[in-house]
Amino acid sequence: MKRLFPFALMFLAACGAGGPTVQLDTTLSSSEARQYFGAETSASGGASESIGFYSNGCLAGGEQLAETGPTWQSMRLSRNRNWGHSELIDYIQTLSQDVARNTSWAGLYVGDMAQPRGGPMLTGHASHQSGIDVDIWMLAPDRLDLTVEERENLSSISVRAQRGASVNGNWTADHAEVLRLAASDPRVARIFVTTGVKVWLCENVTGDRSWLSHIRPANGHHYHFHVRLNCPRGDGSCQNQPLPQGDGCQEAYDRAARILNPPPPGPPNNDPPPASPPSGMRVALGNMPNQCPALLSGF
């Protein structure tokens, strides 16, 4: 017989008349957390708190980014992923104002943030779980009065060329300025971009280059860039991701070289492939930080 996770016992004791909004299995140690967090449609109460790691965590007291503001619009509203820690909400609003003042962009098109209570998502991201990640589109907004339908159907643009080793003609100096503004905020831990963007920045940025260390090359990230904030002050259960030393340029050059000249395949290997660890999307509820199951409806 499987041992009941402690929060399952709490849940069973707490279920009185009426029952919970989300029915939890009693074997939380094997239940996929994404099924429960993906079903939540509103935030929990209280002040904002990021709990756990970016790819294994949750969000208490989440706030919803307004669908439209003077310098931003939330995209893909049907996903209900425009939630975050209050620090992330302020970051997005502040950055969008800076972008509108300092570039030709009218502001920002804001992609996925987090679910109302964070946690793993049914589809898509492995991270974005603790309410301090946000995807910002590479498409420069020329209007901020898109309808809900337009926000569902409009696509961003790719800035990738040569399979990600360089940038294409969609890339502009304003993209670089947007990234400089985004990375210069001291709350930023790192920003993920396609390799070619990082290479371009390393080769072209002059003057103050201190912010470059926060721009890190990653697979994908050519239709949007992914901002990850440091744990907000006072959130003791939040876990940061330390930034590597250096400006990251050599890493980008090496990644681009491997893209353009991939190493030859190794000798045949008849051994079965090693088992892959569960992704952040498929984390079991019982393996999440202790505070997370208690955020679900019904507790």
Class of domain 6-262+284-295: alpha beta
> Per-residue pLDDT averaged across 106-129, rounded?
96
Mean pLDDT score across all residues of the chain: 89
Residue 194, pLDDT above cutoff 90:
yes
| Cβ count within 10 A of residue 275 | 6
> Per-residue pLDDT averaged across 263-277, rounded?
66
- CA dist., res. 2 & res. 255, Å (int): 45
Model confidence at 2, in pLDDT bands (50, 70, 90)? very low
> Per-residue pLDDT averaged across 192-210, rounded?
98
Q: Which of 86, 82, 137 lies closest to 109 in space, CA to CA?
A: 137
pLDDT above 70 covers what percent of the chain? 85
> Per-residue pLDDT averaged across 51-63, rounded?
97
Provide the pLDDT for residue 273: 59
Model confidence at 266, in pLDDT bands (50, 70, 90)? confident
- CA dist., res. 121 & res. 129, Å (int): 8
- CA dist., res. 209 & res. 249, Å (int): 11
Q: Could you report the per-residue pLDDT of 230-247, keeping only the tens digit for each?
A: 999 999 999 999 999 999
Model confidence at 278, in pLDDT bands (50, 70, 90)? low
Q: Which of 98, 197, 82 lies closest to 133 in space, CA to CA?
A: 82
Residue 66, pLDDT above cutoff 80:
yes
Residue 299, pLDDT above cutoff 70:
no
Q: Which phi-psi region, left, alpha or beta, contains residue 254 (left: φ > 0; alpha: ψ -120 to 50)?
A: alpha
For residues 26 and 292, the model is more confident at 292
Q: Are strands 83-84 and 63-64 parallel, antiparallel or unpaired?
A: antiparallel
- CA dist., res. 222 & res. 194, Å (int): 5
Q: Could you report the per-residue pLDDT of 4-27, keeping only the tens digit for each?
A: 344 443 333 333 333 334 445 545
